[in-house]
Amino acid sequence: METLTLLMTGFAVAGTPMNLALAAVGAVLGTMVGVLPGLGPVNAVAMLVPVVFALGLPPESSMILMAAIYIGSEYGGRISAILINVPGEASAVMTALEGYPLSRQGLAGVALSLSAWTSFLGSVLATVGIVLAAPVLSRWALAFGPVEYVALMIFAFACLTGLLSDQPIKALLATGIGLALSTIGIDANSGVMRYTFDMPNLIDGLAFSTLVIGLFAISELLILLQSHRDGVSVKIERMGRNLFNFKEMRFTLPAALRGAGIGFFIGLLPGAGGTVASALAYSTERKITERNDPEGSRFGKGDLRGLATVEAANNSASNSNFIPMLTLGIPSSGTTAIMLGVLTLYNLTPGPMLFTSQPELVWGLIASLFIGNVMLLAMNIPLVGVFARMLSVPAWVLVPFIVVVSAVGVYSGKSASFDLILMVVVGAAAYWLRRMQVPMAPLILGFVLGGILETNLRRALSLSAGEMQILWSSPIAIALWLAAAGILLLPRLLRRVLPPEARLSDD
């Protein structure tokens, strides 16, 4: 009852005209940030820090604005991923696997509206989880040390082989390339420059925006040019309806609920977030579908269940990121780290005492998550038709336009022409890899998660003076190692043991 009373107090704070206006502005800005590769919520929130102080906003209003941008970017990242196969955010990489094939089949409107609905569902369920169980779950998250994080990353990489179960070797090759790229730059521990080839522009490593635009946008443009040269036209089916129907909602609901659950618990872990959550949710849903409905599985070719589980997972994770931030003062992402910094500028100490010392701020922020998600759903559903009509623009006009806009985003990061050259080089390499049927999703996920793996592996080994046994010294780590081994080995054992007619199809 006390929790409900506090939540009502939060709605009173978030429901003031100024805070509602800030939530609406944040939702719009967040969606725009999510659509454009290279920006990201971290940059948008960082640029707003001096603005909120210049405007003299109270701390709860500042938090509401920044939180709306954060969750709005998760909604926006799916739009470019579905329409043009260019993820706006790292967490939207998995969305492109099913969303883009659906758009090529004339179902862009259905994909956009369904993804908006499942994003809303995952966000709301995660926010309910924050209300009900934040203190308990924050203590569970503290059980994850560097040893458990290493095992979690290995488990995530094992799940990546499930993305393309008919090409596990190529998926592992792509993951290895991504891990290798993540090591470029100055070593945080020793200060040694790694694989920079004496180029100052590589000291900070590869920027995510440069890599993702090269891998997806530039390579897509080169494939389009190759198709025109070969006389092969890229056909997009006639646009159908803009909204999903009740049958499709009921069909994808179990997948969305599973994705929301996975995303909620992954979002509690600092550094994991929507990228890990979407990868685990996608691979889990694919395995479940292939086991229960092998004939109806269309994963990789436009399966609504894959799209639904991914969007529910990454939005659920982005909302549950606030639990360790509010209860422990531990940021779960770059965006929440900036928000914690803003709280300290207001002379507020993040942590358990924040719930008692500043209940209006905490519960106002939680209530604003409900309000912001309703605003985002109300904004995204009516605009589905507008977004979907982008596909009526000829590909030879649309793709170069996206490349130009993306290039501006890349250049604005460091204002260095080197990044533009690197973007083209990465795009040419990605074109060759895609011609060889090497998937791009495991590559970009290997790049994103590689830094987390390396950092925690070093911490774990430093705790044990280099003894490898520490990596399987905790029950959580052992369970994750066994699960990873099961994912890698079980399908191959089943192929040896089961008769051909009893085996699951990988297609």
10-residue mean pLDDT series, the chain (507 residues): 80 90 89 70 72 82 89 81 76 83 84 90 89 67 76 76 63 86 83 85 81 78 74 53 83 92 83 77 84 73 88 89 75 73 77 74 89 89 73 66 72 77 90 86 78 85 85 84 74 50 39
Helix (H) or strand (E) holding 193: strand 193-194
Place of tokens 């589980």: 309
Query: What is residue 404's predicted lDDT score, i.e. its pLDDT?
Result: 77
**In the prediction, which pLDDT does 312 show?**
92
| pLDDT, position 379 | 85
Rounded Cα distance between 375 and 369, Å, is: 10
Which is nearest to 108 in space by CA: 124, 96, 93? 96
DSSP E strands, 321-430: none
Q: Is the dihedral of CA 361, 365, 366, 368 positive or negative?
A: positive
pTM above 0.75, yes or no: no
Tell the residue number behind the tokens 């083209």, with chain if given. Answer: 424
Cβ–Cβ under 8 Å, residues 263 and 316 = yes
Residue 103 near residue 115 (C-beta atoms within 8 A): no
- The token duo for 196 is 């920079």
pLDDT (0 to 100) of residue 398 = 65
Find out whether 315 and 335 touch, Cβ atoms under 8 Å: no
Structure-token match 């590559």, residue found: 443
**All residues at 6 or more sequence positions from 285 whose CB lies less than 8 Å from its CB, including other chains:** 255, 258, 259, 305, 306, 309
Looking at residue 20, its pLDDT comes to 92
| Cβ pair 155, 483 in contact under 8 A | yes
Phi, psi of 185 (to 5 degrees): 120, -175
User: How many residues in total does the chain contain?
Assistant: 507
Please give the backbone phi and psi of residue 86, each rounded to the nearest 5 degrees, phi first: -120, 100
Rounded alpha-carbon distances, angstroms, from residue 121 to 126, 316, 319, 333, 455: 9, 8, 11, 21, 33
Rounded Cα gap, residues 457 and 234, in angstroms: 45
Is 185 in a helix, a strand, or coil? strand
Angstrom distance (rounded) from CA 346 to CA 463: 36
- Nearest Cα to 450, choosing from 78, 195, 110? 195
Six-digit token string for 465: 């003076």
Query: What radius of gyration do the chain's Cα atoms show?
Result: 22
